[in-house]
Amino acid sequence: MAEVVSLSGIGVCAGIAAGPLLRIADVPALPPPAAAADPEAEVARATAALAEVVADLERRAGRAGDETVAEVLRAEALMAGDEALLDGVREHVEDGADAVHAVDRAFGAYREVFEAAGGYLAERVADLDDLRNRAVAVLLGLPMPGVPQPGHPYVLAAKDLAPADTADLDPALVLALVTEAGGPTSHTAILARALGLPAVVACPGVLDVAEGTLVLVDGASGRVDAGIDEAAAEAARQGASEVVAAAAAFTGPGRTSDGYEVKLLANVGSVKNVPAADEVNAEGIGLFRTELLFLDRGQEPGHDEQVAAYRDVFAAMAGRRVVIRTLDAGADKPLPFLNQEGEPNPALGIRGLRIARQRPQVLATQLAAIAEARSQTGADVWVMAPMVSTLAEATTFAAAVRDAGLPKAGVMIEVPAAALRAADLLQVVDFLSIGTNDLSQYAFAADRMCGALADLLDPWQPALLQLIGICGAAGRATGKPVGVCGEAASDPGLAPILVGLGVTSLSMSPRAIPPVRAALAGRTADDCRRLAELAVAAPDATEARKLVA
């Protein structure tokens, strides 16, 4: 038997899977440069190739089963259709390049700018590379890069997954995802959770594993064992099936084994996501992302269009709680009609509720539309604002919500300043919802899209848990709900710790609800509190996991 090689990364979606490892197809090689005999024809070829890439991405977005996947694909399509990119292609053709080399050089220039900018833009380099590769493939008459289609189940490995790679990914064939780069909030991590696939990111050495090698992936611990035998693979598959079956056996509301109730809610982007929430008996919606209605538009959606979109979701939830987030734009979700260009650091700029400082009517229109949709359905609607930092912001937002005729006003805790003053915020709002992705980013001064800092963004970091505990204690003291709607809520191992810290609801991708429900059902409320104390007292995330396990 060959020696088993154990690799270590960051587990971002719990679960065990075993199968042969396959990699994303190689990037198409460029042919030797050729002079452009007919510059206009070369520009036309390049323009047509980019248009085909855009059309392909939009088709994939349209048939994506998950709205998160669709959103990411639409954003990538916008980059491929950018007029400035086309201008760059024309300039390179005018300098004598043929279409394929003009496209390559235009993307190369963008790549240098993005890398020099750092932060969020630097993390978009992988998207640029993916777009370049797709356009080059079209120009060379080759298939666009994508995931393998071997006709049998396998573990997919890659440097990092581009959004388009995952659009047609079949969870019945792809058993798990392992990437060499990425972090807990990378596209790979978010999409793995949306698809319910075990996943490990930031795993050095995975691309050195020979194709076809049997590997075991543990999406909770981040361990990848390469070179296992068929008996070990079958044992892993059997164990994974038993875990899934055990999770499915738990039904009904979320609660600990001694009856302490914890609402299990779903994150959605539109009414298309509601059936998936119903399939797993979600108790409501803990995060309705309204920004999906605003993306890819030159002007904001009007009052009536917003009413229709919100009403569809409210009606589909049939009286269950719907926590709707007001527009969360800026930073990694810039909107053209907001004219936000030129911010030196968008992650620390005008985003979330701060948009109301410059464009108060955007918030006023949205609140009026939410109120109208609620009045038409009688839904249990709670409204929360993203990116709240101070008591004054919370007070002003709560007043605006109530002036619109809406009964429940809350704020998201994404900034450490807000977490530290959670007790003050709960004097003026009805609930808190913790966005762990951004709270990690700001607490550790680590860009959430930077794979090199993935360890700092681990939701098991004790400092992050301590901030969550401050919010939970404030909720207990005031008798008001405190939820988590960030990616941490979908981790079955972490769920009991969050409950032990005082969290009263967990909102996640629908696929994550059954294993989280089962994890809570296996612990008492006292167990949860004891485990929370251990995790917070740990020196780091790795040790926190060990102590809890």
Annotated catalytic residues are: 187, 485
Among 386, 373, 276, 384, residue whose Cα is nearest residue 328: 386
Cα-to-chain-centroid distance, residue 5: 30
Q: What single-letter DSSP state applies at residue 430?
A: S
Give dist(CA 431, CA 357) in Å, integer: 23
Tokens 């800026």, residue? 330
Q: Residue 380 carries which side chain, given as an amino acid letter?
A: D
Q: Residue 470 carries which side chain, given as an amino acid letter?
A: I
Mode of pairing for the β-strands spanning 223-226 and 214-218: antiparallel
- Using DSSP's 3-state secondary structure scheme, residue 28 falls into coil
Give dist(CA 524, CA 532) in Å, integer: 12
The partner residues of 330 in beta bridges, in order of sequence, read: 333
Tokens 């955007």, residue? 362
Radius of gyration of the chain (CA): 24
Q: Are 174 and 154 in contact (CB under 8 A)?
A: yes
Within 98-229, residue ranges assigned H as helices are 99-117, 119-123, 125-139, 163-167, 187-195
Give dist(CA 144, CA 468) in Å, integer: 44
- Residue 520's region, left for phi above 0, alpha for psi from -120 to 50, else beta, is alpha
Q: Are 139 and 49 in contact (CB under 8 A)?
A: yes
Give dist(CA 367, CA 93) in Å, integer: 50
Helix (H), strand (E) at residue 433 = strand 431-434
Give dist(CA 428, CA 410) in Å, integer: 9
Tokens 């604002």, residue? 385
Residues 6 or more apart whose CB falls under 8 angstroms from that of 172 comprise 153
Give dist(CA 10, CA 199) in Å, integer: 8
Mode of pairing for the β-strands spanning 10-13 and 199-201: antiparallel
